[in-house]
Amino acid sequence: MSRTEGALVTEPWTADPVRVGLVGAGPWARTMHARMLAAGPETELAGVWARRPEAAADVAAPYGAATASSFAELLDMCEAVAFAVPPSVQAELAPSAARAGRALLLEKPLGLDLASARGLADAVADSGVVSQLVLSKRYHPRTREFLARARQLKVAGARSCYVHGAFLDGEMATGWRLEHGALLDLGPHLLDLLDLAVGPIASVRAAGDSRRWIELTCEHQNGAVSQASLSGAVRLPRARTRVELYSEEEELVYDTAEFDQDEGWAVLRREFAEAVREGRSRDVDARRGLRLQELLEQARRSAA
């Protein structure tokens, strides 16, 4: 079975679909996870479990998926588990799924704090199961084109932002996001991109209030400096994600304004299924999640 390389998949899927159980029944589970996993052909939505059974049934019904009465029952239904729950719940449940031998499709951040993230990453390493992070932007073909071009540059500095108003109102204004703000929710995306596009991040400092607006300054191992602006509490017509790289050669700009996110979901689904069938995680795994959580903790401590 061939690997995807950042373009839309054109080769037919010939292996059995990976049977994935979904944990969670909130807006992200409903609008992204369930829809993506049920679209196949690489995956099959085998079942849904949530602490509110009626909500789980609502998510499962459009796809003819089963509703599990318990987390243990969900594990019996599937060979992989996708998590669409708050970080504290993911860090509590995912280690049990790993110890049961189930592959994991994990949200970011791994946990609400570094200790819980490390516990999850350790459970994955000890069990040897496949893990993959839903760092959604990483799977889009245009992101991969940007990162490939960035690797050809000697970047001196970078500016970036990920800002929107989803925490002001609406379904995504959930409890953990309102309490912890943009650093934990949006920060992993920009730190991941800056770490790859500019060079490994050596240290991060933060200023501001994560619930309103927070600024990160990253010093990279190669001497470059980058900045990231994060907010989920500003009124905009649409979310804005932008990275600007500056070098002696050229300016390179990454902007998601015109992205069709469904292109990225197709790549994510295919690569997760390939990893499960091959029994080998790719680079966007729990270890990467722990690395990002370590950077988030540096930023949190400096802001405090």
For 183, phi and psi rounded to 5 degrees? -60, -50
pLDDT at 192 over 80: yes
Domain map of the chain by residue range?
Answer: 18-136+262-283, 141-258
Q: Of 268 and 8, which is predicted with more confidence?
A: 268
pLDDT digits (tens, 9 = 90+) for 247-297: 999 999 999 998 998 899 999 999 999 999 999 999 999 999 999 999 999
The pLDDT of residue 141 = 97
- CA–CA dist 273, 99 (Å, integer): 20
CATH fold of 18-136+262-283, please? Answer: Rossmann fold (3.40.50)
DSSP state of 79: S
Please state the rounded mean pLDDT for residues 222-235. 98
Please state the rounded mean pLDDT for residues 190-212. 98
Whether the ω angle into residue 109 lies within 30 degrees of 0, i.e. cis, is yes
Query: Where residue 170 falls among pLDDT bands split at 50, 70, 90?
Result: confident
CB of 133 closer than 8 Å to CB of 289:
yes
Q: How many CA atoms lie within 13 A of 18 on its CB side?
A: 27
Q: Is 74 helix (H, G, I), strand (E, B) or coil?
A: helix
Please state the rounded mean pLDDT for residues 14-33. 96
Domains 18-136+262-283 and 141-258 share a fold: no
Which residue shows structure tokens 């159980």? 21
Q: How many CA atoms lie within 13 A of 24 on its CB side?
A: 25
Query: Where residue 6 falls among pLDDT bands split at 50, 70, 90?
Result: very low
Q: What is 10-44 written as a DSSP string? A: -SPP-SPPEEEEEE--SHHIIIIIHHHHHH-SSEE
Sequence-distant contacts of 146-151: CB under 8 A, at least 24 apart: 146/197, 146/243, 146/252, 146/254, 147/193, 147/196, 147/197, 149/252, 150/196, 150/197, 150/198, 150/245, 150/252
CATH of domain 141-258: 3.30.360.10
The pLDDT of residue 10 = 60
Q: What's the pTM?
A: 0.94
pLDDT at 44 over 50: yes
CB of 233 closer than 8 Å to CB of 177:
no
Among residues 70, 75, 77, which one has the least CA distance to residue 98? Answer: 75
